[in-house]
Chains A and B, each alone.
Chain A
Amino acid sequence: MRRLTWLVPTIYILFLMLPIYWLVSMSFKTTNEILGSFTLFPQSFTLENYRVIFTDPTWYNGYINSLIYVSINTVLSVCIALPAAYAFSRYRFLGDKHLFFWLLTNRMAPAAVFALPFFQLYSAIGIFDTHLAVALAHTLFNVPLAVWILEGFMSGVPKQLDETAYIDGYSFPNFFVRIFVPTIAAGIGVAAFFCFMFSWVELLLAKTLTAVAAKPIAATMTKTASSSGYELGLLAAAGTLTIIPGAIVIYFVRNYIAKGFALGRV
């Protein structure tokens, strides 16, 4: 019995890895091979798909656009959420608990609900098809999430730390930037990670609010139908590259996320 303890995790991991493996393996095949035969490994190994993506501006600009608005959004969300979370964690005010909950309810609405108003509003004020448009739209979902996560981490820091800093002579802004933010660096990492991931995978708003100049990679991928049908190999390569940024970010925050789970905030 004890010898079989490896079995269940192994099966589980195989199931998890199978679609990813299939995607990666497809990205090294030609479209003909994908459509023509069932092969476990690429029979005619090719980097052609990746070459297309890295040389064709309509492809690689998709990645650049996505990275730009995701970065703007992450920075914006965390910067807005930091003071908000501090207020929720340190002060009692009328309706604070209701407001805190109401923030979260923003996340309960599907993004589709907001697509039309955002589209009309942004067209009217002239920021349609800019990186800022997508970044701003995503803050609607990411700020509440970041506030929720950061509040948990901040409440784990004793109020006496703030008081000690004031007693030592720190002004509030000085204390916040030089002592408090470094103290909850783990929380900021986790919050940034979740903002990044949401913004990176969100497609509907990103697609609706952009046309050409700020078109995200996911929108580019839906337009790969050519005269010869879908270019599956190219699509698989693009998909593989889409996974990479998330994987990198997860690698950096993996230890902090465990702490976030322990606080019940992730």
Chain B
Amino acid sequence: MLELKNIAKRVGAETHIHPTSLEFKPGSFNILLGTTLAGKTTLMQLMAGLEKPTAGEIWFGGVDVTGVAVQKRNVSMVYQQFINYPNMSVYDNIASPLRVGGVDSAEIKRRVGAMAELMRISAMLDRRPSELSGGQQQRTAMARALVKDSDLILLDEPLANLDFKLREELRDELPKLFGTRECVVVYATTEPTEALLFGGVTAALHEGRVADFGPTGDVYRQPATLTGAQVFSEPPINTVKVNKSGDRVSADGNVNWAAPADLPDGDYIVGIRAHHIVPVETPGSVPIDGTIKIAELSGSESMVHFDAFGSDWVSLSHGVHPFDAGAAATLYADMSACFYFTPDGKLVRSGETGGGR
């Protein structure tokens, strides 16, 4: 078990990580979700022991490892950039952690061979990393990370620099690679969809703080905080200030809709994901009149940015729905699916599960 106990990281006057406590169980797949500069990489460097926390402790398997050098910890890491030793062949790259670890050469040969087989780079073992494609380079880096039996495997956006097809392919294989291992896997990503595909446990990071932490599905469907919901929504979640009194919820008197029965009267911030606002009226939906700013039409989806009563809104819908920029339009929000947060951003009610947390 990897435990971060109130760790913080400051560099000069800048705080990169605010005091954070997290626990990762052995055999678990953990996701650090956040935009760039959210602190994902810093957190990973702290976990690996490449950086020392300015405060707090890191425990692994019941032992305080805060000051232990990275060489003495049994970790591996894969970076977004394809990092391999350019002066070594692919075989030597994969064998390198085993050689440093003093494993005998017959065993090295066996394990490198098996790992290359698994990563499907057996044919490239004699080549230099620079002679491989990007996908193969990253497979080499992963093979090197997986060939030793690490207690902690850190993957820092390993698929971000790959093209779409390779990303899908590797994304499929990844969970299978860790399936039987008793190690802690931490995977950093900027993409909410990727987190959802992997499942496991997600920590939503925002500006060096953990906005939410829990099973990925829970964090997505009932985010504990507004920040957590914002981190876990792509395109960005729409928010609007509302007031609930009696059986109606009203957004500054512009639109109003039937309030959920279990919601106490008061002020709230409503968060509604883009795919719950569509250009077609559905039973029970709330019409929102606005001005179109941009309509991005891909083959099968329409993303419409529009302006309604002073805020920016985003709608994401299936099918192609052309809009002219500057035109007035009505879009329909399924308010039964929205989140209600307190004005300081705590979840009160999730429209996706019906409960709070």
Q: Indicate with 1 or 0, residue by residue over A168-181, a CB within 8 angstroms of chain B CB atoms.
A: 11110010000100
The answer to whether A167 touches B83 (Cβ under 8 A) is: no
Interface: B244 (CB within 8 A): no
Chain A residue, CB-CB nearest to B51: A163
Given A161-B85, A183-B85, A167 and B79 contact (CB-CB distance below 8 Å): no
The answer to whether B76 touches A167 (Cβ under 8 A) is: yes
Interface: A246 (CB within 8 A): no
CB distance from A22 to the nearest CB of B (A): 44
Q: Indicate with 1 or 0, residue by residue over B331-351, a CB within 8 angstroms of chain A CB atoms.
A: 000000000000000000000
The answer to whether A161 touches B87 (Cβ under 8 A) is: no
Given A168-B100, A168-B144, A169-B71, A163 and B50 contact (CB-CB distance below 8 Å): yes
Residues of B within 8 A of A174 (CB): 100
A160 CB contact (under 8 Å) in B69, B76, B81: B81
The answer to whether A168 touches B50 (Cβ under 8 A) is: no
Which of A116-174 touch B at CB < 8 Å?
A: 158, 160-161, 163-171, 174
B: residues with CB less than 8 A from A are: 45, 48, 50, 69-71, 75-77, 79, 81, 83, 85-88, 96-97, 100-101, 141, 144
Given A160-B79, A163-B50, A163-B77, A171 and B85 contact (CB-CB distance below 8 Å): no
B77 CB contact (under 8 Å) in A158, A167, A182, A185: A167
Among B75, B85, B96, B100, max chain A CB count under 10 A is at: B85
Among B71, B77, B81, B86, max chain A CB count under 10 A is at: B71
The answer to whether A164 touches B83 (Cβ under 8 A) is: yes
Chain B residue, CB-CB nearest to A168: B97
The answer to whether A183 touches B87 (Cβ under 8 A) is: yes
Chain B residue, CB-CB nearest to A170: B100
The answer to whether B83 touches A169 (Cβ under 8 A) is: no
Among A158, A168, A174, max chain B CB count under 10 A is at: A168
The answer to whether B71 touches A185 (Cβ under 8 A) is: no
Whole-angstrom CA separation of A174 from B141 in the bound complex: 20
Given A169-B101, A170-B100, A164 and B87 contact (CB-CB distance below 8 Å): no
Given A182-B87, A183-B87, A185-B87, A167 and B81 contact (CB-CB distance below 8 Å): no
CB distance from B79 to the nearest CB of A (A): 5
Whole-angstrom CA separation of A211 from B38 in the bound complex: 66
Whole-angstrom CA separation of A179 from B75 in the bound complex: 19
Among B69, B79, B141, max chain A CB count under 10 A is at: B79
Whole-angstrom CA separation of A166 from B77 in the bound complex: 10
Residues of B within 8 A of A163 (CB): 45, 48, 50, 70, 77, 79
Residues of A within 8 A of B71 (CB): 166, 169-171
Given A163-B50, A163-B77, A164-B77, A169 and B85 contact (CB-CB distance below 8 Å): no
A: residues with CB less than 8 A from B are: 158, 160-161, 163-171, 174, 179, 182-183, 185
Known: A164-B141, A174-B100, A179-B85. 17 other contacts (CB 8 A): A160-B79, A161-B83, A161-B85, A163-B45, A163-B50, A163-B79, A164-B83, A166-B71, A167-B75, A168-B100, A168-B144, A169-B100, A170-B71, A179-B88, A183-B86, A183-B87, A185-B87
The answer to whether B87 touches A179 (Cβ under 8 A) is: yes
Instruction: List, sorted by A's number, 21 A–B pairs whose CB atoms are closer than 8 Å.
Output: A160-B79, A163-B79, A164-B79, A164-B141, A164-B144, A165-B85, A167-B48, A167-B76, A167-B77, A168-B96, A168-B97, A168-B100, A169-B97, A169-B100, A169-B101, A170-B71, A170-B100, A171-B71, A179-B87, A179-B88, A182-B86
Residues of B within 8 A of A164 (CB): 77, 79, 83, 85, 141, 144
Residues of A within 8 A of B77 (CB): 163-164, 167
Residues of A within 8 A of B76 (CB): 167-168
Residues of A within 8 A of B100 (CB): 168-170, 174
Chain A residue, CB-CB nearest to B147: A168
The answer to whether A158 touches B144 (Cβ under 8 A) is: no
| Closest A-B pairs by Cβ, 6 of them | A182-B87, A169-B100, A168-B97, A160-B79, A160-B83, A166-B70
The answer to whether A158 touches B83 (Cβ under 8 A) is: yes
Whole-angstrom CA separation of A168 from B96 in the bound complex: 7
Residues of A within 8 A of B85 (CB): 161, 164-165, 179, 183
Whole-angstrom CA separation of A171 from B86 in the bound complex: 18
CB distance from B156 to the nearest CB of A (A): 9
Residues of A within 8 A of B87 (CB): 179, 182-183, 185
Whole-angstrom CA separation of A51 from B45 in the bound complex: 66
Among A164, A165, A174, max chain B CB count under 10 A is at: A164
Whole-angstrom CA separation of A157 from B87 in the bound complex: 12
Whole-angstrom CA separation of A204 from B258 in the bound complex: 93
Whole-angstrom CA separation of A166 from B72 in the bound complex: 9
CB distance from A158 to the nearest CB of B (A): 6
Chain B residue, CB-CB nearest to A172: B71
Residues of B within 8 A of A185 (CB): 87
Residues of B within 8 A of A179 (CB): 85, 87-88
Among A166, A169, A170, A185, max chain B CB count under 10 A is at: A169
Whole-angstrom CA separation of A169 from B98 in the bound complex: 9
